[in-house]
Amino acid sequence: MRKFGEFDGLADNVVHYINEIVKELEKVEEEDISIYYGYPIIELDRQESTMKCCVVCRHGLVVFYEEENEKTVYTRHFTQIVMSSDRLSELYFEQKNVLESLPFASYKNVDLVFQEEQLLTHEEYKMVNGIIQNVYGMNSADERSISNEMSLGAKIKKRNNAMNMLDQNQFNGIYNKIDSHMRIRGLAGSGKTILLVKKMAYTHFKNRELDLAYVFYTKSLKQYVEELFKIYYKDFEKYKEPDMSKIHILHSWGGNQMKGFYSKLCEDNGLQCRTYVSAKNLSGSDKYEAVCEEVLKVTKGNIKATYNYVFVDEAQDFNLSFFKMALKTLRYTGKLIYAYDELQALNSTVSMPGKTDIFGHVECRDIDLSVCYRTPKEILVTAHALGLGIYKKKKDGTPDLVNMMEDYTIWRAVGYKEKEGHLGYGKHVVLDRNEEIEYKPDECVEINSVSDSQQQYEVVAREIIRLVNEEDVLLEDILIIDLSSLNLQDDFNEFKSVFYRIKREIEHEEYKIHLVNKDNAIKFKRIGSIPFTTIFRAKGNEANIVFVINSHKMSNMLSYSRNRLFTAMTRAKFKTYVYGIESDIMTSLNEEYQEIKEKNYMLDFTYPTREVLRQMKSIAKVESKKMDTIQKVYKDVGNDTDITLEILKEQLGTPSIKDLIKELERFSDE
């Protein structure tokens, strides 16, 4: 049984009846039962009331009421729901008992419903829940032409058009009252962004006078979030546009092309806004954290209170000073709502601050999203195993974990369960998770090694064209993520040349590919074109099929690199291809993947002790610092070779120019 709603605002006698109804439903041996209570009903004329209690099952719908006027409102509401479904309306006109209404005092009669025939299939049951939850607008219909019902594209279409329903935590997270700060935890694809945006849309619908800020880290998310907000607002307000002067969708820093949370704060408070270049002289490797810290210091915390609510996406990429600064922008009763996935932190030096660090002893409610709706289990578990090095081996054959969450309870919060052993420091455990994806390919992950760069691009280009020509795949289904971020432009030009040569051979001139980089960071998706980008631009976005290329460039920056591989793989909704040139790295990835499959996509490992975790974090910080140095200096090697080499030699601690060159060869393309 699934429970959707909250008791806030309901009278004690109603709460009593709902609890009694739950007890009655628990006696029924059926899985497809949902109960809704205390959630808003929004009529077409914008009139809003509260649904006190209704039950959805495969036998139909049951609505409970206290007074006759409530019966009228509820029946009208659910008649609209019934009529929006061809199947339900057909049953209704056949005078099937698809919709029943009962007074609360007759709650024990609910069991009579389950004595009737089952009118709905499991899919139709999900559909009814989906209509109630207004999730039809979450994805536009997939109307692609299908030439083969067994093709990958056919499976993608079925999945895209399948009726989904929110889980309890998602639904309640959207509609519950914001009476405290909120922390939302979930894996990639668990619906964190959807929850945040839909909650913001509902908040704006409830009170259009409130100033709402939505802060994100990845620039390419702006277009997506703005479009999503407008779609979701229409779920609540059919005939009126949102007041976008009250909605502030802001990149964390901002730039010439868009306002940012930091740049707008500086403008509102008469402060000089730093560019990334001017922030380089500030201490610390995280320049955004440095400018936030500077704002707090310069203003002594006296920051203009601008927003009623601040919604923060990708919160794992922000440090403590940002959260402290964000809190200062809230009005007296304002609240901070933030969502994060600790495993997606691309900067290993950033450790997600705890609730106490951010809020002190002020209440912050937790919402844990344990279901992953984007990514099949095979991709998700593989990405976790590779990203953390769970099946990575040292030369002597012993395990060689490269990273792990400090708080082991997060595994349970995000949907993993203990199959064997027990979660705990120094304890052996086998973790498994349920599969939530119904339509997926026979093989969700492919890891391929090639002989050289030219062959890699040739193989990838031909596979993409094959998918489009033979598997009913659309160009916009595909995303290419280059793990060699410093060489992005050169890699793109090389791949584009190969791709366009092959498309000319088969006379498909309409095939297009576009680069998403710092000069084109906002327009991520285009109809009829494939985005080619780094993980830093792809993060927060998704695609049905993801090609991860140049995976061999991960070198020995273990934690740093594997975290990027994990994030890249989990951009995929359907299938992930991982390509790289033959090397020890690719050999290891292939061996690890074979073990993942042998373990039936479960995580079998010994959790590190607290001391080992501290060592991992220390190593990660050294790696990140080294990488930061190389990225800053290596770009200038051609301009002032001797001086630059000496600087690198000194900072990296290499004993000779020869060793330094080897170091640069290993890390330059990170």
Residue 358: per-residue pLDDT: 96
**What pLDDT shows up at residue 670?**
37
* Cα 368 to the center of its chain, rounded Å: 13
Q: Which of 154-168, 334-348, 434-448, 499-513 has the highest mean pLDDT?
A: 434-448
pLDDT of residue 120: 86
pLDDT of residue 310: 98
pLDDT confidence of residue 669: 37
Examine the pLDDT at 629 and tell me if it is beyond 60.
no
207 Cβ contact list (under 8 Å, min separation 6): none
Least confident piece of the model among 44-48, 127-131, 364-368, 661-665 = 661-665
Q: Which is more confident, 256 or 432?
A: 432
pLDDT computed for residue 586 by the predictor: 93
CB–CB of 306/259 below 8 Å? no
What would the two tokens of residue 281 be? Answer: 């002289």
Contacts of 615 (CB under 8 A, 6+ apart): none
Task: Give the pLDDT confidence score for residue 370 in this predicted structure.
Answer: 86
- Token pair, residue 325, equals 């600064």
Structure tokens at 178: 């914001």
Closest CA to 2 of 95, 96, 132, 107: 132
DSSP lists the bridge partners of residue 64 as 53, 102
DSSP 258: S
pLDDT at residue number 654: 47
In Å, how far from its chain's centre is CA 330?
Answer: 25
Residue 642 scores a pLDDT above 90: no
Handedness of CA 441, 446, 451, 455 (dihedral sign): positive
The single-letter DSSP state of residue 117 is P
DSSP string, 396-465: TS-B------S-TTHHHHTT-EEEEE--STT-EEEEE-----SS--S--EEEEEESSHHHHHHHHHHHHH
Question: What pTM value is reported for the model?
Answer: 0.78
> What would the mean pLDDT of 567-594 be, rounded to a whole number?
94
Q: How confident is the model at residue 218 (pLDDT cuts 50, 70, 90)?
A: confident
Helix (H) or strand (E) holding 604: strand 603-606
Say if CB 263 and CB 275 are below 8 A apart: no
pLDDT: is 82 or 419 the higher one? 419
Looking at residue 349, its pLDDT comes to 53
Does residue 641 register a pLDDT over 50? Answer: no
Quote the pLDDT of residue 639.
Answer: 45
| 107-131 average pLDDT score | 84
Helical (H) or strand (E) element with 216 = strand 212-216
Interval 84-93 mean pLDDT: 77
User: Residue 51: beta bridge partners?
Assistant: 39
Q: Which stretches does DSSP call E strand in 240-389?
A: 247-251, 307-312, 330-340, 364-369
Which one, of 529, 533, 531, 538, lies nearest residue 489 by Cα? 533
Query: By C-alpha distance, which of 202, 145, 159 is closest to 178?
Result: 202
pLDDT higher at 667 or 406: 406
Q: What mean pLDDT do residues 608-619 have?
A: 81
H or E stretch covering 584 = helix 584-598
- E-assigned strands of 238-329? 247-251, 307-312
Instruction: Mention every residue, 6+ apart, whose C-beta is less than 8 A from residue 75.
Output: 63, 99, 101
Q: Which of 8-22, 63-77, 326-340 has the lowest mean pLDDT?
A: 63-77
- Quote the Cα angle for 550-340-132, to 5°: 110
Q: What local confidence, expressed as pLDDT, does residue 606 receive?
A: 95
Q: Kindly tell me if the per-residue pLDDT of 635 is higher than 50.
A: no
| pLDDT value of position 653 | 46
139 neighbors 224 (Cβ within 8 angstroms): no
CA–CA dist 120, 114 (Å, integer): 12
Q: Are the CB atoms for 213 and 250 separated by under 8 Å?
A: yes
| Average pLDDT value for residue range 452-471 | 94
pLDDT tens sequence across 138-188: 455 788 999 999 999 999 998 887 767 778 888 888 888 899 999 999 887
Task: For the chain, give the mean pLDDT.
Answer: 84
- Residues 577, 568: Cα–Cα separation, whole Å: 10
What's the average model confidence in pLDDT over 102-107? 90
Sheet hosting strand 2-5, strand order edge to edge? 2-5, 33-37, 53-57, 60-65, 99-103
Q: 213 versus 651: which is more confidently predicted? A: 213
Burial letters 259-279, b for 16+ CB under 10 A, else e: ebbbbbbbeebebebbeeeee
| Per-residue pLDDT at 161 | 79
Q: What is the mean pLDDT of residues 41-67?
A: 82
Q: Is the pLDDT of residue 249 over 90?
A: yes
What is the percentage of the chain residues whose pLDDT exceeds 70? 86
Highest mean pLDDT among 164-178, 328-342, 430-444: 328-342
CA 660: distance to chain centroid?
39
Q: Is 580 helix (H, G, I), strand (E, B) or coil?
A: strand
Predicted pLDDT of residue 651: 44
Q: Which of these, 242, 103, 235, 110, lies nearest to 171 by C-alpha position? A: 235
Greatest Cα-to-Cα distance within the chain, rounded to the nearest angstrom: 88
Over residues 263-286, mean pLDDT: 86
pLDDT of 668 reads 41
Mean pLDDT of 103-125: 86
Evaluate if residue 646 carries a pLDDT over 60: no
| Strand (E) or helix (H) holding 48 | strand 48-51
Q: pLDDT, tens digit, for every residue of 514-545?
A: 988 776 655 677 888 999 998 878 877 889 99
- How sure is the predictor about 44, in pLDDT bands with cuts at 50, 70 and 90? low
Q: Name the pLDDT band for 297 (thresholds 50, 70, 90).
A: very high
Residue 652: predicted pLDDT: 47
